[in-house]
Structure 1
Amino acid sequence: MPDVRYVAEGTRAAIRHTRREDAAEFTRRARESMPFHRPWLTLPTSESAFQHYIAQLEREDREGFLVHALETGDMAGFININNIVRGAFQCGSIGYGAFPPAAGQGYMSEGLGLVLRHAFGPLGLHRVEVNIQPGNKASIGLVKRHGFRLEGFSPDFLYIEGAWRDHERWAMTSDMLNQRTDPG
């Protein structure tokens, strides 16, 4: 990938901002990942859907990142900070997804750590939240490893794959970042 400018690098993974030029690779990986992501999330699988997706990420209240495997440069997944609210709140909601075969290889865990350091550092956020469907054990394990705390349950929270889905609400504040159990 020419002219890669990572926002941050770890030992095995790096993050960079999602760009319009990522459409072909992102949508290809999203199409390949459809069975893996059901019923947890729906990703843009066409050029027009990606253009809508990237337009949302270009808003002032969002930051979109791609996670890459440093060894190969391959796109391992994405992590977005959505609904950033400034003022007294200084909070954002994180959403993410891995692309097989990178899923379960630790890239997303390291990538999430990099995004959290960016959120609590340069972005100046005080709090981030993640909403996870109760059956998504991999996602719950990811946030637990990073020290998020379970704060509640929201029935019929998000409309995904044709149904209103229940979600658990997990959160972390900036002072919790250094208390994580997983260094990635």
Structure 2
Amino acid sequence: MSESAAYLAEGPRVALRHFSHADADEFTARARESRTLHHPWLFPPEQPTAYASYAGLLIDDPTRVGYLVCERSDDRIAGFININNIVGGGFLCGALGYGAFAHAAGRGLMSEGLDLVMDQAFGPLGLHRLEANIQPANEASIALVRRAGFRLEGYSPDFIYVNGAWRDHERWAITTEMRH
């Protein structure tokens, strides 16, 4: 584990920690290695300068929280799960963004990581609801949230601009009550 990072939560195989600027080299290398896995759904930063901007938002913007999902055995970054667009008041909701890295895909590490993130969201962050907006053909992403107990709530045509076009998305969500 990097000297500046401490685990926020631990499961049997993974642990969560916040993004740091010191993670730029590993994160961008893993993003480059995972380009085929991510395309056409996701485009995490592949260069240190892009990572600095990306991580800066997750570190400095109070409406976002970023988590690195790390393998406990060697602290390698397996993936990331961010809670974006956090709204307080009567809403208490955030929108998830996430991705596994190729070396970790299909091993259940992101499921374990998402469970830990939901503990953070519904515990210390005090949220009531998490949403995930997913392109309908992204079967792996849909399977992840379905396993975690999210329910399909709707369909939004031309919802998010991804890879040069407005893409349709399914809206999945979970509330704190659904976890108990």
**TM-score higher than 0.5 here?**
yes
CA distance in structure 2 between the partners assigned to 1:75 and 1:47 by the alignment: 16
Given the alignment of the two structures, is residue 153 of structure 1 paired with residue 129 of structure 2, yes or no? Answer: no
SS at match of 1:15: strand
Cα RMSD of the aligned pairs, angstroms, is 1.0
Given the alignment of the two structures, is residue 129 of structure 1 paired with residue 131 of structure 2, yes or no? Answer: yes
CA distance in structure 2 between the partners assigned to 1:129 and 1:2 by the alignment: 30
Given the alignment of the two structures, is residue 118 of structure 1 paired with residue 120 of structure 2, yes or no? Answer: yes
Which of 87, 93, 96 lines up with 1:94 in the alignment?
96
Instruction: Quote how far apart the aligned CAs of 1:2 are.
Output: 3.6
Question: Which whole-Å deviations, capped at 9, do the CAs of 1:117-174 have from their partners, x for residues lacking one?
Answer: 0000000000010001101111111111111010000111111111211110000111
Between Structure 1 and Structure 2, how many residues are aligned? 178
User: Which range moves more in the overlay, 109-118 or 159-168?
Assistant: 159-168
SS at match of 1:101: helix
Which of 69, 72, 83 lines up with 1:70 in the alignment?
72
Instruction: Quote how far apart the aligned CAs of 1:16 are.
Output: 0.5
Instruction: Quote how far apart the aligned CAs of 1:72 are.
Output: 2.3
SS at match of 1:95: strand
TM-score (norm 1): 0.94
Q: For structure 1, which runs of at least 5 residues remain unmatched after alignment?
A: 179-184
Mapping of residues 78-89 of structure 1, within 5 Å: 78-89=80-91
Matched AA of 1:107: L
Matched AA of 2:47: S
CA distance in structure 1 between the partners assigned to 2:171 and 2:132 by the alignment: 6
SS at match of 2:178: helix
Matched AA of 1:27: T
Q: Name the % identity.
A: 59
Residue aligning to 1:48: 49
Instruction: Quote how far apart the aligned CAs of 1:35 are.
Output: 1.2
Question: Which whole-Å deviations, capped at 9, do the CAs of 1:39-62 have from their partners, x for residues lacking one?
Answer: 111111112211110121120000
Residue aligning to 1:10: 11
Which ranges of 4 or more aligned residues in structure 1 deviate by more than 6 Å?
none
Residue aligning to 1:182: none
TM-score (norm 2): 0.96
